[in-house]
Amino acid sequence: MDKALEIGSKAPSFSLPSDGEGSINLKDFKGEKVILYFYPKDDTAGCTKEAIEFTKNITKFKRAGAHIIGVSKDSIAKHKNFKEKHALKVMLASDETGEMVKKYGVWTEKSMYGRKYMGIERTTFLIDEKGAIRRIWRKVRVSGHVDEVLAEVKGL
């Protein structure tokens, strides 16, 4: 899929292996809010900061009725190491095939030091209790992002 996902669109279903032994399915969260955040790579500066910020606020998100799921193309083994190293409490899902990042339109051309390559655009989706996308944050800047997402969740 391309970037056709919009506010009000039904969130594409998924079933991905998770760090918690087993898999994470969107349908398992029916009737609950989901913060689905896509990030480029475990244990890099921005991705670590984002995961730590979500972890610090996980109780506030739970009180607001929201679950947090981080998705990257890293393996489950890398996710487990990442979680242990930083004491992360967010669920992490592995999309090694890249199927989900394409469905959500976050697999994009990037550029660094003049070199072009394909990668995950840091993006967050707020999915409501009925499975509809209520908010999309593209090209996320980590600083202040978690607070903004929490304010939006509380407003639903």
Distance CA 48, CA 66 (A): 21
DSSP letter for each residue of the chain: --TT--TTSBPPP-EEEBTTSSEEEGGGGTTSEEEEEE-S-TTSHHHHHHHHHHHHTHHHHHHTTEEEEEEESS-HHHHHHHHHHHT--SEEEE-TT-HHHHHTT-EEEEEETTEEEEEE--EEEEE-TTSBEEEEE-S--STTHHHHHHHHHHH-
Q: Which of 47, 92, 149, 153 is catalytic?
A: 47
28 is catalytic: no
Residues designated catalytic: 47
